[in-house]
Amino acid sequence: MKTKNIIMILAALPLLAGLTGCKSDDETTARPANETLIVEGGDITLRSNEDKKYVDITADCAWHVVEFGDNENQSHSGDFGDALTVEPMRGNGNGTLTIIIDKNAGTLKRGNAYIILQSDGGLRQRISITQTSSDPGMGIGGTTDGALNFGTAGGTKTLTIESNTSWTVEQTPGTEGWLNLSKASGTGNDAVYVTAAPQPTDEDRSATLTFKYANGSKTANVMVNQGARSDISLSVDQIEMRFPKAYLRYHDEGSQDWWKNSESQLVNVTANASWKVYIPTSSAYWIHVEPLEGVGNGQFRVWACPWETDTTKVIRMSMLMVVAGSQNPKQSDILIYQLVDNPGKEPVGPVDPIAPSKTPEVGQLTSMYVDDTSAGFRFAFTCYEPVAEYGVVYSEKETTPTIENSKVLKAGENRGTATVLPEIMDLRATTTYYVRAYVKGQPDAAGISEVVYSPNMVTIKTSDGKTIPGETDNPDPQMARRR
């Protein structure tokens, strides 16, 4: 009897073990007692720059990946979409599960993803997957050492933007005339096309493109450079312009548009750069030019205003300077003559110029460059007969230099019309100088030569050899030589 009871008890033990086997919280039915399925570490969080995570699995049974409540062999991808994959999809016993995603370049956290592991016996484990957000960032491709470099012909270059946030781009104010951007803002990866116009000058030019992102708290800069022209060319189709007598109209000097009813002539300019027309200050009241500047081939018109004089007949003259470039400028001069008759009087005799005055007409003196021991200038003069000599006078002390009280640099002689580019080479560093142009006419019967000076006096200050003088040291800083 005792033996029979022992046998019955032993027969019931396997049934008891089956009722107490491993199961998940979601399961209520009994599972085989010998199944073990453990995911080491539980839920998974990846950093923004991670694209792979290895998960150890402890199991003594076969298992596979399923989506909870959905079809077999799938995962719930959440914010990751197709970027989330799992390898392997099946295993037997201990193993390693590989979670594969792409790096998070965005500024938002990603999640709402999970996978379900299930043993062949029905035991399940759920794993949630999240990934941290990336800091706002920006990468700019298409540059050379952080810059875009254009040749003199200009053109278009592409900046490739890699970003995980919205951004804007600004350019140096004042560069819009030669530099154009295809867009001023964007979000995420994009491209900005940068177009530079052909270079019209013999000076380097540059701009800075400032990209702002992370709500404007961060910036990235790109330099844009364009080299100077070295082949400046310039010519005009007139070297002398003769205007007819002007006794038909009266010039009201108070009128701002006297030139609209005056005689005019057209000048054609052939150039590969920007150019400007300079009118001597002493002639600005009777000569009008429009436009005063241009780029490349173009035209400008010259007006000579009517004039009233007490003399029956008189001739007057001036000279226009057309200049292209500043470092090594090209210049063309146009001599202007006008015969003037007194309104209300009939001309006497042939309408021809009478014997001209021997007094030269001298234009403005312009500073071209200032260094530590030298300085260059430009001026023009006209006269009806060759002058005795011309040049500049300069002094450290005399604020109104003359040939009697200052140093004299003779630049030439025996010319009736000239554009002069004198260079003073014996200056002292860090010193202020006062400079005027002069022209000495031919001596009269008594042997006296009239000296005419430029209507302006230029003040310069030489540098110390280490720095370049600023705009205050150059009356015309656009014409100053660059080092």
Could you read off the pLDDT of 76-100 as tens digits, one per residue?
A: 777 777 788 888 888 898 988 888 8
Whether CATH 2.60.40.10 fits 231-356: yes
State the fold for domain 19-131. Answer: Immunoglobulin-like (2.60.40)
Q: What is the per-residue pLDDT across 234-268, written as a single tens digit (0 to 9) for each?
A: 999 988 888 876 543 444 444 567 677 777 899 99
State the fold for domain 138-226. Answer: Immunoglobulin-like (2.60.40)
Q: What is the per-residue pLDDT across 205-225, written as a single tens digit (0 to 9) for each?
A: 999 999 999 888 889 899 999
Nearest Cα neighbor of 138 from 190, 182, 181 is: 190
Domain boundaries, the chain: 19-131, 138-226, 231-356, 358-483
Instruction: Give CA angle at 421 (408, 323), nearest 5°.
Output: 150
pTM value is: 0.50
pLDDT band at 282 (very low <50, low <70, confident <90, very high): low
Considering the chain, what percentage of its residues have pLDDT values greater than 90? 27
- The answer to whether the 19-131 and 231-356 domains have the same CATH topology is yes
Q: What is the largest CA-CA distance in the chain?
A: 169
> Which pLDDT score, from 0 to 100, does residue 278 have?
87
pLDDT band at 436 (very low <50, low <70, confident <90, very high): very high
* Between 330 and 105, the higher pLDDT residue: 330
Whether 22 contacts 33, CB under 8 Å:
yes
> Domain 358-483's class?
mainly beta
